[in-house]
Amino acid sequence: MKEDKIKYFVSRKIKERIDFVRNIKTKDKKVAIYNHIPLRELEACFDECIKLTDLYKDQVFLNTLPKINNKTVVFFVDLGLDYCTFLPNYIKPYLKLTPIRQQTDNVYLIDGFAFYNTEKSIYRPFLYIDDGILSTTVQEFYNVGIYKDFEGNKVENYIDKIRPYIDIRTKPIEIQVVSYSPLKKEKREYEALKERVIMTEKLSKQRVVNELQKFIKSSKSLESVLLKEKEGDVLYVEENTTNSRKKMYKDIILQNPKKVVFYDSGFYGIDQIELERTKGALTRHNKLIELF
């Protein structure tokens, strides 16, 4: 594999990131675009560093575009948390980052994960590198509707197309699940709460989810296992929600733990769904990076 073909560098180690940036040669400037994850020591490698949230301001965006020419090298750093996404607003960064990519062919991605949330999001970074690497016919990212069981969406089917452009230095993360049993009283209260918010109060789906998750978070049975002594170099995901999943990815990038621990009640339905999404995404991520 030729080093100059690598466009997507996956590493959580600062030294590896610094070496990757320094090995990209240019007579022009190097620009970094980042957002939720601070650049840390990597900042010294760039001539200019721009936050994605600043690009959402029209004047900043319009002032940035003329600074990018076909010799400028642009790095999108840890932006997977924005464009791979947990909300239906992934188009927002796309509208700002794509015009910048169109100004130069020298675009590189540095991230702590090959994909976030679902394996289909491994596709999206390649739209920022070069939309010709993968055909747009593979863009049913989330296997929904008529594409729910579409085998063509499996990453294994187009892994050879993206392999020359991606260098994954991260190792599979050890996953542990700690089981606990809710008290009989908690089970009765949970079922009563579920009936009240759904049948009596007829709350919206999101408010129902919020109320049930709030109950689980404050339960004595969960609290008892969380109070147990914790190891260093281990990330503990203490609640199973969409927001905690996003926080988990951020914490893994910043802390680079050797293991991630989840908590499983084996009873609370809403908790089980979110746990499977989060743990399942990490499990699939471990399998895919081994294929590379």
* Domains of the chain with bracketed CATH: 3-168 (3.40.50), 174-291 (no CATH)
pLDDT, residue 169, reads 93
Q: Average pLDDT in the 78-99 region? A: 78
Question: What value does the mean pLDDT take over residues 42-65?
Answer: 94
Task: Give dist(CA 48, CA 43) in Å, integer.
Answer: 8
Fill in the amino acid letter for 251.
D
Side-by-side strand order, sheet with 30-34: 48-51, 30-34, 73-77, 107-111, 8-10, 166-168
Q: pLDDT for 193-248, tens place per residue?
A: 999 999 999 899 889 988 999 999 999 999 898 878 788 889 999 988 888 888 89
Q: Residue 10 forms beta bridges with which residues?
A: 111, 168
pLDDT at 142: 44
Q: Which of 26-30, 145-149, 180-184 has the lowest mean pLDDT?
A: 145-149
Q: How confident is the model at residue 151 (pLDDT cuts 50, 70, 90)?
A: low
